[in-house]
Structure 1
Amino acid sequence: MFKKVSIATASATLATLSTFSGASAIVNGSFENGFTGWSTIGDTSIEDSSFGTAPSDGNFNALMNSDFGVSESELEAFLGLGLGDIDSSLNIDATIGSGIKQTIFAEAGDTLTFDFNFLTNEFTPEEFFNDSAFVSITSLELLADTNSNFVTSMTPVSEETGYQSFSFTFSETANYTLGFGVVNVGDTIVNSGLLIDNVELTASTPEPTTILSLFTTACGAFSLLKRNQKKEV
């Protein structure tokens, strides 16, 4: 009986320790292998530094253009959103757009990070033709729009925000659809774009005392098991 309990205790402890090894990895988060691991809709492409702005990580990044995209409703369906979610969440009147997505598994406390660069040919700042870029995780969140801060761009688009970092911490363990999108607002003829790079999912780190306690428990269980086996010989 003691032997069975010891084995069960040790196994359970090691299983618990193994959960601290890391979150499920984002597939191809820096787009070094094209769109492998990602689904796309609308006008999307993989770009390198020859596009006019350098990727934030590695040699490539993903580009979404609002022109030549799909309808707002098609983009919403692709991202698993409800009809009208883009307009209501961002307080805009979107027309067409493009996006990419990946299904991920995250545990409570895990952190998602990525870099983004919003580009536009619209006049800035612009209230009516307020082209917008967003991320969709548990809800829609604005990344940038035509009222953001811009610098002159060396890309085919006139202005860009430059790469900025975004971070999101998950509160519940579940599967999620991670989506990125960019949309035209008020027209379908003036392009805006969204560059995404360096998408990572980092596991939450337990307190050092918690790890030490679990490790001590595992060592103790195996030590007792070993002594018990010697007595049985």
Structure 2
Amino acid sequence: MSVSHLIKHSAITTGILSLASFGLAASPSQAVSVDFSSWDKLGDVYTQPGEASLSNDNANFQDDSPQASGYYNLSGNNPEEASPNPNLQDFLGLDAESLDDDGQAYEGSAIKSVITAQAGDKLSFEWRFSTNETSNKDFGFFLVNNNVIKLADFTNALQSGTSGSFQTNTGFNTFSYTFNSAGTYNLGFGVVDVGDYVTSSALDVKNGNLEEVPEPTTIVGSLILVSAGLLERSRKKARK
């Protein structure tokens, strides 16, 4: 073996040993579907496989005159109180004032679940907010632990609804959230009536996916394979 071949052989072998010393095994990145229909429910929630729709329309009162009572109600269940009794907030593990965004939250509906995530995992989903509001800022939100992330209120609902549906909506949008650290997270979605009990709004969520980050060994393993290939080529050349 020539000096140059010896140097190459030593360098490649050292590289393989250095990479292998990480002690990690490769596994590719993958996305896991999130079934919103299986989450815990409170209030007016309608589900179908993989999807959930929530409204704040009371089935027994005429919230959206001239439409009949419960016209926009989805399930036959009434939205839950947010004040004076913070039943909605209690369900989500929130303080009583946590949903008072641009006015007092009166009632609403929600779903929730608990997931375990690693640092760098990304949750994505599609959402649409629909409403008949033109003054009070009913809103739809996404919840991560105690962090209420507002998705939209009536000022964001710029698309006109079809006949028989809500007056305006946002259309479907994609939202993604990256977890900064490994742990267990309380997640939720909700829609809230702000300022009064009338004039309804709704939130639809679907196509949820949790994309797991590749384990460090995925990258290291690939580098080991490349280095091993270079070593084999070096050996073949040395034999010639």
**TM-score (structure 2 length as normaliser):** 0.67
Match of 1:107 among 118, 122, 133: 118
Does structure 1 residue 153 correspond to structure 2 residue 153? no
| Structure 1 counterpart of 2:200 | 191
Pairs aligned (count): 185
**TM-score (structure 1 length as normaliser):** 0.69
Higher-Rg member (1/2)? 2
Partners in 2 of 1:46 and 1:103 — Cα distance? 18
Does structure 1 residue 131 correspond to structure 2 residue 138? yes
Q: 1:144 to 1:199 in 2, by over 3 A?
A: same
| Structure 2 counterpart of 1:28 | 35
Q: How large is the Cα RMSD of the aligned pairs?
A: 2.9
After TM superposition, give the deviation of residue 26 of structure 1 in Å: 4.7
Match of 2:104 among 93, 111, 114: 93
Partners in 2 of 1:109 and 1:214 — Cα distance? 24
Per-residue CA deviation, residues 151-198 of structure 1 (Å, 9 max, x unaligned), is 111253221111011011110101111100000011112110001111
User: 5+ residue gaps in structure 2?
Assistant: 1-19, 58-77, 229-240
Q: 1:206 to 1:130 in 2, by over 3 A?
A: same
User: 5+ residue gaps in structure 1?
Assistant: 1-8, 30-34, 48-58, 220-233
Partners in 2 of 1:38 and 1:142 — Cα distance? 20
| Structure 2 counterpart of 1:165 | 174
Q: 1:111 to 1:214 in 2, by over 3 A?
A: farther
Which amino acid counterpart does residue 118 of structure 1 have in structure 2? F
Partners in 1 of 2:41 and 2:193 — Cα distance? 17
Does structure 1 residue 210 correspond to structure 2 residue 220? yes
Per-residue CA deviation, residues 123-143 of structure 1 (Å, 9 max, x unaligned), is 2xx3xx110110001411110
| Structure 2 counterpart of 1:83 | 96
Per-residue CA deviation, residues 59-117 of structure 1 (Å, 9 max, x unaligned), is 87311001231011111111122221111xx3431100001112111111011101110
